[in-house]
Amino acid sequence: MVLTPRAETLLKALIERYISDGQPVGSRTLSKQGGLELSPATIRNVMADLEDLGLISSPHTSAGRIPTALGYRVFVDTLLKVRPMDTPEMHRLADELAYDGNPVHLMESASTLLSQVTKLAGIVMIPRQEEAFRQIEFLSLSSANRVLVILVTAKGRVHNRVIHTDHRYSPAELVEAANYFNDTYSGRPLGDVKRDLLGALQRDGDAVQRAVRNATMMARQMFTDEESAGPDVVVSGEANLLNIPDLGDIEKLRKLFDTFNAKRALLHLLDQSMRAASMQIFIGQESGYQALEECSVVMAPYQVGGRVVGTLGVVGPTRMDYDQVITVVDVTARLLGGALSTEGH
């Protein structure tokens, strides 16, 4: 599929017009504002070619043409020259990203930012990275037989949990238990630690010292159904999608909202985007999900210290302002990565 330069500019003009108007675009309209000086008739010829190539189509005989998914694809891949965002605008965005030290809040803030600027739905994935064990502490609570277990990971994330014990431990016992644990497992991935603990269940002999047994027992409770769940997703601005006439069919909207709630499909897309390590755009059915068939998804991974740690993006109707969305997603990804790397270390 090779397009003449003229066909290209025509296609570009048509798509841009359609994106801004939402109406099928006819030859006359294009002839007047398309930039190139051609009569409607000529334009009709070119449009017929474009239709043969599957880039545009007409909803019915006597309406103008609208881009197909393939048309958008070509537009996005080869016609769209994304202009870099000017610095003042970028600073404005950066200011919106409130960082209060809590990474989850930061993600939420990024998601709202995306949805507010684009007027579409913003999504941000918070990956639960496989972290390494750093330190565990057992803290006796003043009420009987309860111990607070605090787990600090190598990245400085803190998990805690109150567990019930069969008897009251002395502070000394607790310290001893913690020491054993910290010596043994420091630096090991959490997954390993967990596996070990479950294995320990079996080989607990009488031979093992009490401190070890105590530590094992308490730590095991800590790890039991600790949210080992998958990564988490923040979605915001779904309500924006209600505004969009393209998604007129309420049934489609419903499916979309269900998808947002289920989040499985989103996770999959986000995951793909993680791997891709650069911006990805899914147009229409390209995402492979029925509910997203009339939607496009623009996603970009964000990095901290050169490593991809998560991904974010925007979901909207196929007819979205790709130009704007792409820059905003790109910039937000960079800003988010930047904000995260200023996190204490």
Partner DNA sequence: GTTAGCACTCAGGTAATCAGAGTGCCAAAC
Partner DNA sequence: GTTTGGCACTCTGATTACCTGAGTGCTAAC
Smaller CB distance to DNA: residue 60 or 307? 60
- Binds a second copy (CB under 8 A): choice among 52, 95, 166, 225: 225
Smaller CB distance to a second copy: residue 42 or 179? 179
Smaller CB distance to a second copy: residue 48 or 158? 158
**Residue 238 interacts with a second copy (CB under 8 A): yes or no:** yes
**Residue 70 interacts with a second copy (CB under 8 A): yes or no:** no
- Binds DNA (CB under 7 A): choice among 20, 22, 35, 45: 45
Query: Which long-range contacts does 241-246 make (Cβ < 8 Å, 24+ apart)?
Result: 241/120, 241/121, 241/315, 241/316, 241/317, 243/119, 244/316, 244/317, 245/22, 246/22, 246/294, 246/317, 246/318, 246/319
Binder of residue 98, out of a second copy, DNA, none (CB less than 5 to 8 A by kind):
none
243-282 residues near a second copy, rule: CB under 8 A? 243, 250, 253-254, 257-258, 260-261
Q: From the CB of 41, what's the least distance to DNA, in Å?
A: 4
Candidate segments 3-11, 49-57, 144-152, 265-273, binder of a second copy by CB under 8 A = 144-152
- Binds DNA (CB under 7 A): choice among 42, 135, 140, 240: 42
Cα three-residue angle 21-330-324, rounded to 5 degrees: 15
Smaller CB distance to a second copy: residue 89 or 226? 226
- Binds DNA (CB under 7 A): choice among 3, 10, 19, 26: 26
Candidate segments 39-47, 57-65, 86-94, 129-137, binder of a second copy by CB under 8 A = 129-137
Q: If DSSP states are collapsed to H, E and C, what string results for the chain?
A: CCCCHHHHHHHHHHHHHHHHHCCCECHHHHHHHCCCCCCHHHHHHHHHHHHHCCCEECCCCCCCEEECHHHHHHHHHHHCCCCCCCHHHHHHHHHHCCCCCCHHHHHHHHHHHHHHHHCCEEEEEECCCCCEEEEEEEEECCCCCEEEEEEEECCCCEEEEEEECCCCCCHHHHHHHHHHHHHHHCCCEHHHHHHHHHHHHHHCCCCCCHHHHHHHHHHHHHHCCCCCCCCEEEEECHHHHHHCHHHCCHHHHHHHHHHHHHCHHHHHHHHHHHHHCCCEEEEHHHHCCHHHCCEEEEEEEEEECCEEEEEEEEEEECCCCHHHHHHHHHHHHHHHHHHHHCCCC
**Residue 310 interacts with DNA (CB under 7 A): yes or no:** no
**Residue 62 interacts with DNA (CB under 7 A): yes or no:** yes
**Residue 41 interacts with DNA (CB under 7 A): yes or no:** yes
- Binds DNA (CB under 7 A): choice among 11, 12, 16, 29: 29
- Binds a second copy (CB under 8 A): choice among 48, 63, 158, 198: 158
**Residue 37 interacts with DNA (CB under 7 A): yes or no:** yes
Candidate segments 27-35, 148-156, 260-268, 283-291, binder of DNA by CB under 7 A = 27-35
**Binding footprint of a second copy on the chain (CB under 8 A):** 100-101, 134-135, 137, 139, 141-143, 146, 148, 150, 152, 156, 158, 160-162, 164, 225, 236, 238-239, 242-243, 250, 253-254, 257-258, 260-261, 344-345
